[in-house]
Structure 1
Amino acid sequence: MSKAHKPRSGSLQYWPRNRSKRAYAKVNSWPEASDPKPLGFAGYKVGMTHITFTDNRPNTMTKGEEVSMPVTVIECPPLKIASIIFYKKTDSGLKSSSAFLSPNIDKELSKKIKLPKKNSKKKLEDYDIKEYEDIRIQVYTQPKLTSIGKKKPELFELGIGGKMEDKFNWAKENISKEINILDIFTEGQHVDIHSITKGKGMVGPMKRMGISRTSHKSEKGVRTPANLGAWTGARQWRVAKAGQLGKQQRKELNKWLLKIDNKPEEINMKSGFKRYGLVKNQYALLKGSVGGSVKGLNIMTVPMRPNRRHPKEKPSINHISR
């Protein structure tokens, strides 16, 4: 009789599986890029729909045919720069050394952080970029422009591409301007999605780790692991147990950015999207689903490991379901 082989259930990559401290993701590393512009953008998850388009993927059996595909709608109101952060290299890695606050900050940002009453006398021209290792910008969202029903913005960092001098010049020129998604991404390219998944609470090991149900003759339950690990040994193997599922930061690589448009009437339903409302700003269509709940913030970044097999041209969209 042949022996049944089965891969190990559950992933050992994400541990500990604790709840995220905040409601939106944090990007810790940025890819290298030659163009002096931000390496990411953020938008609010609206919901899902489907489109029909002419398949332009070179290695599919439906190449040149009209096919249907599920897509996620992301509303992308403009971002604003809160500050420019200067990093120095230390023995513990890059550490923020100084920051220059933007002179034009919305009053809604005071709901998120405590703003200084007086601006610093130090000017941006006084900074010597030779003393620093990296420059990043701290941006905030404008949920007041959407229909999600809040004014408190989200605050997070974005990396900038190019050399140090190019980064500094870009930040200097755009510190009082709004950042649009079309300034960073183009239709047809791929992006990485950083999001906080939906919280499921306390669940058992079958749903959490994907283990199989044991025999009905098993003692002390059939939805539990059969073995809790060795009693002896210097190294204990990780065992599937009950615990927290969801509300954790996850990243999905190489999502296809199918469309970016500033005409929300093309996708809006008469009554709006379920549990979201009407889209009022620029929006993006991403292939498939993305993590997180409706109205949650998803951060899109330049791909860290781009897939060369994926097409870089935008597809010809024939119909958007609404």
Structure 2
Amino acid sequence: MGDRSKPRRGSMGYSPRKRANRQYGRISSWPESDSAEIRVQGFAGWKAGMTHLLVRDNNPNSSSAQQEVRKAVTVVEAPPMSVLAVRGYRMTPYGMQTAGEAWFNSDSGPEGLSPRLANQSRGERDAEEGRKPSKRAGRIPSRGEGSPDAALEALREVDLCEVRLIVSTQPALVKSVSSKTPEIMEVALAGGDNASKLDWAEERLGGAITLDDVYETGQEIDVVGVTKGKGWQGAIKRWGIKLLSHKNSKRRRQGGNMGDFGTGYVRKTIRQAGQVGYHNRTELNKRILRVSNPEESDITPSGGFLNYGEVTNPYMIIQGSLPGPSKRILRFRDAIRPRPAKPEVDITYVSTSSKQGV
């Protein structure tokens, strides 16, 4: 328990502190927008590393107005994302439910978008693709036959409350990550009505969306990612509780008691050992200081980013730190709690010196 002299450490608002289900963040809500222009509200990229830059303070009310200020920044590599499908939602007494989807017909599309064969075991698929057959059971669910045009017409006849895109990353374009399996995720659309959103999505079905299509310099966004995993740790490191007295003969790095005597179980509010890190966390209002690509302005430091290497795709520089280690995939969305607009960004210097400690 906390008191006036020593507040309680460790927020119970994040409980249960368990491992994330997947390596990339989960976005459960998207901001509302009354804009007339239709645009994508989310993107994804890989965390390359951190550096620093000098930016001119253009805030006239600041004590450092018109002076160069040093900022710690994070570089995120974000190649284009493939648009695989459009999904419509309808409102029910139980909340939003999927009304239908229209997937891109991969037979006539670019390479790399072909789905796995339906009703085929994983072992058969692995053997066909030249890998060691997997021993996992189960078959891939079969996909109903039908053209995307028919699926879109069916969506237009439904009273939809929201339209979203199903997109995938392209890790094959990133040299620094070992996994080449695309991550499939959902992103929201802002602006216009649902009919115009369906038309907008139909034009881009099977194509790609780039970082420039979604975000611009000076914009504030929310970053969703999975933090660095620390494994199983004790209560001292996990919750910051006080060490017991040296006179305690049995233990020092545990809690003093496990609750009252009468209760027949240990309450969940008792601070015990458990998982630390690898949690889904959201950073609010992170400012984009630059959206560019290596052809316009090279960002890779001498010797490459530590544990990452070279940035070869479009990237963005975000002020401050972001959750997770290097090579961790991060998701971005429009700010759900936007702040007043700030003066434009004026970068005077970006450090590309070696991060190898030499």
CA separation of 1:30/1:129 partners in 2, compared to 1, >3 Å: closer, same or farther?
Answer: farther
From 301, 314, 319, give the equivalent of 1:287. 319
Kindly provide the amino acid, as one letter, of the partner of residue 202 in structure 1: W
Aligned equivalent of 2:146: 120
Which residue number in structure 2 is paired with residue 312 of structure 1? Answer: 342
Q: 1:14 — aligned with what?
A: 14
Amino acid corresponding to residue 288 of structure 2 in structure 1: L
Q: 1: distance between equivalents of 2:336 and 2:60?
A: 23
Tell me which residue corresponds to 1:243. Answer: 274
Q: State the superposition RMSD in angstroms.
A: 2.6
Which residue of structure 1 lines up, in the alignment, with residue 224 of structure 2? Answer: 194
Q: Does 1:259 align with 2:290?
A: yes
**Residue 271 of structure 1 is aligned with which of 289, 298, 303?**
303
Which residue pairs with 2:240 in the alignment?
210
- Could you tell me which residue of structure 2 aligns to residue 64 of structure 1? 66
5+ residue gaps, structure 2, are 119-139, 353-358
Counterpart of 1:298?
A: 330
% identical aligned pairs: 34
1:74 and 1:19 map into 2 onto residues whose CA distance is 24
Structure 2 residue 135 is matched with structure 1 residue 107: no
1:183 aligns with 2:213: yes
Deviations 1:4-23, CA, capped at 9 Å, x for gaps: 52221111111111111111
Kindly name which structure, 1 or 2, has the bigger radius of gyration based on alpha carbons: 2
Q: Report the CA distance between 1:176 and its aligned residue.
A: 2.8
- Identify which range, 274-283 or 211-220, moves more after superposition: 211-220
Q: 1:78 aligns with which of 80, 92, 99?
A: 80
What's the counterpart of residue 170 of structure 2?
A: 142
- 1:208–1:243: 8 Å Cα contact kept in structure 2? yes
1:92 counterpart residue number: 94
In the alignment, what sits opposite 2:161?
133
Aligned to 2:199: 169
Measured at CA, do residues 305 and 169 of structure 1 come closer, stay the same or move farther in structure 2, by a change above 3 Å?
A: same
Closer, same or farther: CA 111–63 of 1 in aligned 2, 3 Å? farther
What TM-score, normalized to structure 2? 0.81
Note if contact 1:201-1:246 (Cα within 8 Å) is conserved in structure 2. Answer: yes
Asked whether the equivalents of residues 88 and 155 of structure 2 are also in contact (C-alpha less than 8 Å), the reply is no
SS of alignment partner, residue 179 of structure 2:
coil
User: Could you tell me whether the CA contact under 8 Å between 1:192 and 1:251 is conserved in 2?
Assistant: yes
SS of match in other structure, 2:196: helix
Aligned pairs, number: 318
Which piece of structure 1 moves more, 217-226 or 13-22? 217-226
**Any idea what SS the aligned residue of 2:203 has?**
helix
| d(CA) in 2 for partners of 1:210, 1:58 | 41
Comparing 9-18 with 205-214, greater Cα deviation is found at 205-214
Deviation at 1:268, TM superposition (A): 1.4
Q: Distance in 2 between matches of 1:289 and 1:111?
A: 37
For the residues of structure 1 that align with 2:235 and 2:61, how far apart are their CA atoms? 39
Gapped regions of structure 1 (runs ≥ 5): none
